[in-house]
Amino acid sequence: MSAPTDVRVYPAGVPCWVDSAQPDPEAAGAFYGELFGWSFSDVSPPELPGAYHIATVDGRDVAGVAPSSQTTAVWRTYIAVDDVDAVAASVAAHGGRVLTDVADAGAAGRVAACADQERAAFWLWRARARPGAQLVNAPATWNFSHLCTRDLPTARAFYEAVFHWEWSEMPGGTRMWRVPGYGDHLAATVDPDIRVRQANAPEGFADVIGGAELISDDALPRWKVVFSVADRDGVTATASRLGAAVVAERATMWTREADLRDPQGAELTVSQFAPPDDF
């Protein structure tokens, strides 16, 4: 087992990073800086066009903002892999699409954009200098990414073949994917108390890396990005004041959530942990 460390690294198959491609990155930085209290720094390699900004909370990387030539912004999910070229070939072999050439992102890592059969996009990431998000599940940081799909059997077959994920259905009807051994990895590295903290959680929850949600035929398949917040209602009020739209609000067995659309059109979900009284 690995020695405990403050550096969070991600085994193959685990979503490791999120960023937002924005037509106006400076405006996006102002919005998310006030919404979540993020600080930003430009980490763009000089040889690459456009400025890539890393958002931090308490000095730790939590998300990115990238320039986009599209008119509507989007949040993107990256999945850690050991070999981008090999996994991109597997995506194509299992019916998905490779949307960009596999390329180096400076010294940070190696990347490719892909999509599943429903054209829900995701990114492959082979880390070098930047292993991924260094603070997660805390207020104002990334919590989960969930696939919104119209065709769950096809989605399951694709992602389980490409990334070797295992399927679980949690109490309350929540559908989740697991990477076996991920909880052990966390316990040995950045989260030694995970088993104690999750003593009352459903079996296998420490290995959970994402979820799947069925959507209607007229909804857009995509990877939905969820951020943890301490106060859903306070965050939605701030988002509205800053020009975002509150698309929907709901309560689940474990959370109080709201779907937001930021001023440039990127959709995200904020989630306040609100477990049952007997948790």
Taking the model in full, what pTM does it have? 0.95
Residue 274 to residue 129: CA distance in whole angstroms = 36
**Domains in the chain, CATH or no CATH each:** 15-273 (3.10.180.10)
* SS3 call for 212: strand
pLDDT at position 183 is 95
Pairing of strands 97-98, 208-214: unpaired
Q: What's CA 277's distance to the chain center, in Å?
A: 28
Residue 35 to residue 12: CA distance in whole angstroms = 31
In Å, what is the CA distance from 237 to each residue of 32, 191, 234?
Answer: 14, 32, 5
pLDDT band at 227; cut points 50, 70, 90:
very high
H/E segment holding residue 210: strand 208-214
The mean pLDDT value for 191-208 works out to 89
How many Cα neighbours within 13 Å face the side chain of 124?
A: 32
pLDDT tens profile 14-57: 999 999 999 999 999 999 999 999 999 998 766 666 789 999 99
